[in-house]
Amino acid sequence: MKPVAIFRHIATEGPGYFSEFLDERGILWQLIRVDEGDAVPKDAGKFSGLVFMGGPMSVNDDLPWIPPLLELIRDAVARDIPVLGHCLGGQLVSKALGSVVTRNPTREIGWGEANVSGSNEARAWFGDTQSFEAFHWHGETFSLPQGAALLLSSAHCATQAYALGKHLALQCHVEMTEQMIREWCEVGARELAANAGNPAVQSGAAMLDQMADELPQLHAVARKLYQRWVAGLVSD
């Protein structure tokens, strides 16, 4: 099988638990470090699937690598090659598919409940899970592309995830590891301080306190999503 392409947009937001999931199943993957100047491939057909990670930038920013990524996503969807987006990655998928990325009513940072919709499509992705403590770190949100099914919502963000066939876009982060959470709390300390008192923003200490209890459950949810997603990978 061709490798899964994983696109990293900043060093601190790598594939995390997703790469562990692929390694455990012997699925080949290739990390494309956009943040280090790796060229954006022009042919989605070289990969069995495309995965886009997070980042602090906006898809609406004037960055040279955003237009070719959007073209690559559209190429993949046209060929029925599965696409998966995490946070910024979900916003990239959304913009590529014609939906709008705008500022969320509030920043949403830390552990927070995400509720699974009651649709058959949501059941197909989440099984019997009705809600879980997701990890959030975002200030923007996306609308639903035409034909997409809403999967998740939260009190502070109406559109947390959607599916469009075999393609999945997430606003929340299910790929987190302990190392990633610790690093984000450190590098994001100023942002957390600037948003102290916001009910949608946790302190770094609170995030770390909940981590031991919440991370295993988050990985259990991630496994459900990733298992369904990799079932759609395109074979050679």
The count of structural domains within the chain is: 1
Q: Please report whether residue 92 resides in a domain.
A: yes
CB-based burial label for 213 (10 Å; 0-12, 13-18, 19+)? exposed
pLDDT attached to residue 19: 98
pLDDT attached to residue 235: 86
Q: Please report whether residue 236 resides in a domain.
A: no
Return d(Cα 1, Cα 126) in angstroms, integer. Answer: 26
Return d(Cα 15, Cα 218) in angstroms, integer. Answer: 15
Strands 157-164 and 149-154, sheet pairing: antiparallel
The string over 88-99, giving b where at least 16 C-beta atoms fall within 10 Å of a residue's C-beta and e elsewhere, is bbbbbbbbbbeb
Q: Structural domain of residue 172, as residue ranges?
A: 4-230
pLDDT attached to residue 236: 74
Assign residue 119 the CATH number of its domain: 3.40.50.880
Return d(Cα 108, Cα 22) in angstroms, integer. Answer: 28
Tens digit of pLDDT for each residue in 103-158?
Answer: 999 999 999 999 999 999 999 999 999 999 999 999 999 999 999 999 999 999 99
Q: Please report whether residue 119 resides in a domain.
A: yes
The string over 144-177, giving b where at least 16 C-beta atoms fall within 10 Å of a residue's C-beta and e elsewhere, is bbeebbbbbbbebbebbbbbbebbbbbbbbbbbb
pTM of the model: 0.97
Say how many Å lie between the first and final Cα of the chain, rounded: 5
pLDDT attached to residue 32: 98
Q: Please report whether residue 235 resides in a domain.
A: no
**Contact at 8 Å (CB) between 203 and 185?**
no
pLDDT-flagged residues of the chain (< 50): none
